[in-house]
Chains A and B, each alone.
Chain A
């Protein structure tokens, strides 16, 4: 019995190590535009003694911060912008956009943000982006930013650069979703909660190490002392 306990405790320790790494990553991204925090929970399986890690990306809305920059676009509500990358379409909420040499709207890595007609070229002086994604240059409608979501957000994978990969076809976002020009979305992280999590993780880890040691002691007694006569 203690042997199995040791194996289970070792798995628990590795779960807490992961949880610590993940919390560290959330806290490192506390200032990243539109960062969505990761959540790692543990689930016990029937008859299993160790927790199975279950990860979720918490897609709750971050606070919108007014910047006054015309190329800053924040999404208010569920949904994503679409980035055309060499590896295929990616989803993002990080809407601090740039223009490339051809005047196209791009993300920080030069990949175009897609409209319904593909990449959006801006040539003019006045850019207006409406709540529904309509892009107007000098008052004339040019295109409409694609705003999408996925049927099952738990299947989204993160790719870094604020991008998500979806293995499902995208669907239109809920009608309440609006774009807000001149704003960016903050990360949805509460540093204080992260802090409390860190303390909890550390204590839980230590407690499990103590349990491991206790089981080791028990095992040592069984193997070395039980059956000894005199």
Chain B
């Protein structure tokens, strides 16, 4: 049996994975704060079918080894944490981070998670929570008689009340040396892993941190045109691997007909 068939099959599987990831990117083109993923592939084992050898004893001429590779495998799917476009909503509790950093939120089990999705609302007790009801950390609670809320670019939250303006606290951000190593847990949240490194907590506009924009949301960083061209390339690569299978198969058929 022609081992090339299996090689080409691995190529088809790889392109299938590529299409899966692109499809997920495209499905999240309108998800606030979503970061696109990229698939990396790598070659697998090589069989040395013929070592380097001397082909002409007189001249000492040699040819290099002949190595046949056995296909491709998925190396990693990495998230690309590039900035998404700013989308102006004018809603006072919509926040976007321009630059590095994540909002810290507390999940129901008490653990921290990180998000770029700044669609905040108020809980029944007046605390700032994410769209899924997770508390912003450190917590910011608005008094009942608030007429307006202002969030400064450095994260200071001020409320206008009947009795003048009142500082409610400061939004802290976390950042990671390798954000691609964060684990995606759904609901636009990420959790820390050994690969991401430990969070470095600080405030907006300080060393390395981005600034906060109020009344703005960060759009997904998926670019439709880019994903579509990648999709076309993946589709063509899939076809080409299928053609390689057919070519190998037809060669086997021809070989089988040598003796009739």
Contact call B48/A157, Cβ cutoff below 8 A: yes
Q: Which of A29-37, A78-86, A173-181 contacts B (4 or more CB under 8 A)?
A: A29-37
User: What is the number of contacts between chain A and chain B, taking CB atoms within 8 Å?
Assistant: 222
CA–CA, A154 to B176, complex, Å? Answer: 41
Residue of B nearest to A106 (CB): B195
CA–CA, A132 to B2, complex, Å? Answer: 45
Contact call B43/A29, Cβ cutoff below 8 A: yes
CA–CA, A30 to B230, complex, Å? Answer: 12
Contact call B66/A53, Cβ cutoff below 8 A: yes
B63 to chain A, nearest CB (A): 5
Q: B15 on the interface (CB 8 Å rule)? A: yes
Contact call B258/A213, Cβ cutoff below 8 A: yes
The residues of B that contact A43 with a CB separation of less than 8 Å are 55, 63
State which residues 65-85 of B face A: CB under 8 Å: 65-72, 75-76, 78, 80-82
Q: Using A31-B15, A99-B197 as known contacts, say yes or no to A201 and B78 having CB atoms under 8 A apart.
A: no
Q: B237 on the interface (CB 8 Å rule)? A: yes
Q: Using A29-B69, A32-B42 as known contacts, say yes or no to A108 and B237 having CB atoms under 8 A apart.
A: no
**What bracket does the count of chain B residues touching chain A fall in?**
35 or more
CA–CA, A18 to B47, complex, Å? Answer: 11
CA–CA, A127 to B179, complex, Å? Answer: 12
Give the interface SS of chain A, mostly helix, strand, loop or mixed.
mixed
The residues of A that contact B176 with a CB separation of less than 8 Å are 125
**What bracket does the count of chain A residues touching chain B fall in?**
35 or more
The residues of A that contact B18 with a CB separation of less than 8 Å are 31
Partner of A21, one of B3, B75, B240, B257: B3
Interface readout for A17-29 with B: 1 if CB under 8 Å, 0 if not? 1101111110111
Q: Which of A63-71, A143-151, A221-229 contacts B (4 or more CB under 8 A)?
A: A63-71
Q: A160 on the interface (CB 8 Å rule)? A: yes
Contact call B208/A22, Cβ cutoff below 8 A: no
The residues of A that contact B248 with a CB separation of less than 8 Å are 20-21, 24
The residues of A that contact B23 with a CB separation of less than 8 Å are none
The 7 closest A-B pairs by CB, nearest first: A28-B11, A25-B69, A68-B82, A21-B4, A101-B194, A24-B4, A32-B41
Q: List 16 A-B contacts (CB under 8 A).
A: A18-B68, A21-B7, A22-B69, A28-B244, A33-B40, A53-B63, A68-B80, A96-B40, A96-B75, A96-B76, A103-B197, A125-B100, A126-B208, A157-B46, A158-B67, A198-B244
